[in-house]
Amino acid sequence: MENRKVSPYTGNNFVVASERTNLWSGIEQNIFGRIELETMYNVVAFVRINGSEPKADVRATLNIQEADNRDRYVTMGRYQ
């Protein structure tokens, strides 16, 4: 990476989102085909924010595609 100041919390994998232009634009991970119905999952994320904004709104959102192909977005967690 060009910016060596960015490093993972632990391990070797991490994602960087920069120059976002919309509140909703960020990282996403498609888990289609990797989950099972009626199963509870525990999701953990470590988020580091760097910038001039005094406040940041971090959200975890689940995009559910309905049987009729409509998308439904559910906020699973939020931290400000």
pLDDT-derived band at 54 (thresholds 50, 70, 90) equals low
pLDDT attached to residue 4: 65
> What domain count does the chain have?
1
- 64: helix, strand or coil: strand
pLDDT in tens, 58-74: 888 888 889 999 999 99
How do strand 71-79 and strand 58-65 relate by DSSP bridges? antiparallel
Q: Which domain holds residue 42?
A: 1-80
- Cα–Cα distance, 49 to 16 (Å, whole number): 10
Q: Please tell me the pTM assigned to this model.
A: 0.62
Contacts of 69 (CB under 8 A, 6+ apart): none
Residues 25-43 pLDDT 10s: 788 888 888 989 899 999 8
Residue 1 has pLDDT above 60, yes or no: no
Band of pLDDT at residue 10, cut at 50, 70 and 90: confident
